[in-house]
Structure 1
Amino acid sequence: MLSEIDHIAAEMGATHVVRFVEAHLGGTVVAIERIPRWRAGWYLTLERDGEAIELYARGERGPDFPSPFDLEHEARVHALLETNGVPVPHVYGLAEGPVRTLIMARVPGQQGLALARDDATRRELMTTYVGHMARIHNIDGERLRHAGFRVPTDPTDVAMSEVFRNVETKYLLLGRRDPLIEFLRSWLWRNVPERTRSTFVTWDSAQFLQHDGELTALIDFELAHVGDAYMDLAALRTRDSIEPLGDLHVTFAEYERLMGESIDFQRLRFYEISQLTVTLMLQFPVLIAPDPESDYVPHLTWYIDSARYALDIMAELFEIDIDTVDVPQAAPSTYHTRLRHLVTTMRTLARSEPKTDLARYGIAVDPTMAERTSASTAVDEFVGWRARCAYRLARHLQRVDEIGSTLDAQNRDDIARLVQHEVLDDAHADETLLTVIDAVGAEREVELLRLFAMRLQRLHMLLGPADSLIVRHRVLQSLPDRA
Structure 2
Amino acid sequence: MEACFGTSVRDWMQISGGNRCRSWLIGLEPGHDVPHTVYLRYQPPREPSAEPYTVWREALIYRALEATDVRAPRLLAVHRSYQAIITTAAEGRADYRRLTDPDEKAAIAEDFAKALAELHRHPFADLGGTDFPAPATIRGCVLDEIRTWQAMYQETGREDALIDLALKWLTTNLPDPEDPPVLVHGDAGPGNFLFKDGHMTGLVDWELAHPGDPVEDLAWFCMRSVMEPVPDFAAALAAYEAASGRTIDRERLLYHRVFVSLRVVVIRHRNVTGLPGNSIVSRSLNRRLLVDALAAAQGIDLPVVDEIPVEATDRTEYYDDIVTDLLTLSDGHPGKVTDFAKNTAKVIKYLRQYDMIGRETEIRKKRLIEDLLGARFDTLREARARLSQGIRDDSIPFAPALALFAALVRYEAQLAAPSSGRMAERGFPPIAKET
Residues 413 and 119 (structure 1 numbering): CA distance in 2 closer, same or farther, change over 3 Å? same
Partner-residue secondary structure (3-state), 2:261:
helix
Displacement of 1:170: 2.0
TM-score by length of 1: 0.78
C-alpha spacing 1:52/1:220, structure 2 compared with 1 (3 Å): closer
Of 134, 139, 162 in structure 1, the residue corresponding to residue 122 of structure 2 is: 139
- Give distance in 2, aligned partners of 1:281 and 1:482: 33
**Pick from 144, 148, 165: which aligns with 2:131?**
148
**Aligned residue identity for 1:254:** A
Question: How far did 1:412 drift?
Answer: 0.8
Does 2:55 correspond to 1:71? yes
2:139 equivalent to 1:187: no
Cα shift at 1:66 = 8.6
Instruction: Determine the structure 2 residue equivalent to 1:9.
Output: none
Mapped to 1, the partners of 2:213 and 2:67 lie a distance apart of 21
Give, in whole Å, the separation in 2 of the partners of 1:119 and 1:298.
27
Distance in 1, matches of 2:307 and 2:290, equals 22
Residue of structure 1 in register with 2:412 after alignment: 459
TM-superposed deviation, 1:126: 2.8
Query: Which residue matches 1:440?
Result: 394
| Corresponding residue for residue 167 of structure 1 | 149
Q: Tell me, what secondary structure is at the counterpart of 1:209?
A: strand
The runs of 5 or more residues in structure 1 that have no matched partner are: 1-20, 353-376
AA in 2 matched with 1:138 = R
Q: Does 1:201 align with 2:181?
A: no
User: 3-state SS of the aligned residue for 2:418?
Assistant: coil
Letter in 2 for 1:74: E
Q: Which moved more, 1:337-346 or 1:430-439?
A: 337-346
Q: 3-state SS of the aligned residue for 1:226?
A: strand
Q: Is the 8 A contact 2:284 2:416 kept in 1?
A: no
Conserved 8 A contact 2:2-2:9: yes
Q: Which residue of structure 2 aligns with residue 343 of structure 1? A: 323
Quick one: distance in 2 between partners of 1:471 and 1:60?
A: 30
CA distance in 2, matches of 1:155, 1:40: 29
Identity %: 22
Hey, what's the Cα distance between the residues in 1 that align with 2:14 and 2:28? Answer: 15
Aligned equivalents of 1:315, 1:481: Cα separation in 2:
20
Q: 1:393 aligns with which of 328, 339, 347?
A: 347
Task: Find the aligned partners of 1:479 and 1:201 in 2 and give their Cα distance.
Answer: 20
Residue 118 of structure 1 deviates from its aligned partner by 4.1
Q: 1:44-55, aligned counterparts within 5 Å?
A: 44-49=25-30, 53-55=36-38
| Segment drifting more, 179-188 vs 130-139 | 130-139
1:269 aligns to what? 254
> What is aligned with 1:12?
none
- Provide the secondary structure at the position in 1 that maps to 2:70: coil
What whole-Å deviation, never above 9, does each CA across 1:105-131 have from its counterpart, x for those lacking one? 433322264455744443433332222
- Alignment match, 1:298: 278
Cα distance per residue 1:186-217 (max 9 Å; x no partner):
11111112234211110211231111122211
Asked if the contact 1:38–1:295 (Cα under 8 Å) also holds between the matched residues in 2, the reply is: no
1:18 match: none
Task: Tell whether 2:429 aligns with 1:477.
Answer: yes
Q: 1:35/1:130 Cα in 2 relative to 1: closer, same or farther (>3 Å)? A: closer
In the alignment, residue 176 of structure 1 is paired with which amino acid?
R
Change (3 A) 1:226 1:297: same
Cα displacement (A) at 1:318:
3.7
| Structure 2 residue ranges without an equivalent (≥5) | none
CA RMSD of aligned residues (A): 3.3
Q: Say which of 216, 227, 231 aligns to 1:242.
A: 227
The offset of 1:455, in angstroms, is 0.6
Q: Are the aligned partners of 1:57 and 1:102 in contact in 2 as well (CA < 8 Å)?
A: yes
SS of residue paired to 1:327: coil
Deviations along 1:48-86, one digit per CA (max 9) or x if unpaired, are 139994444434379599953110111222232244121
1:155 Cα deviation from its structure 2 partner: 5.4
**Residue 364 of structure 2: aligned partner:** 410
Does structure 1 retain, via aligned residues, the 8 Å contact 2:181–2:213?
yes
Residue 87 of structure 1 pairs with residue 71 of structure 2: yes
Letter in 2 for 1:330: V
Question: Hey, what's the Cα distance between the residues in 1 that align with 2:19 and 2:238?
Answer: 35
CA distance in structure 2 between the aligned counterparts of 1:44 and 1:480, rounded to whole angstroms: 39
Measured in 2, the distance between the counterparts of 1:87 and 1:130 equals: 12
CA contact (8 A) 1:167 1:278 kept: yes
**How far apart in 1 are the matches of 2:384 and 2:51?**
27
The residue that corresponds to 1:314 in the other structure is 294
1:379-433 Cα shifts (integer Å, max 9, x gaps): x623432333333223322322222111111111111111222232121121121
Among 403, 406, 425, the alignment partner of 1:450 is: 403
Secondary structure, aligned partner of 2:416: coil
CA displacement, residues 22-51 of structure 1 (integer Å, 9 cap, x when unaligned): 443432343434649865534445241399
Residues 117, 465 of structure 1: alpha-carbon distance in 2 compared, 3 angstrom cutoff: closer
- For 2:363, give the aligned amino acid: A
Q: Is the 8 A contact 2:280 2:347 kept in 1?
A: no
> Number of paired residues?
428
Q: TM-score, with normalisation over the residues of structure 2?
A: 0.86
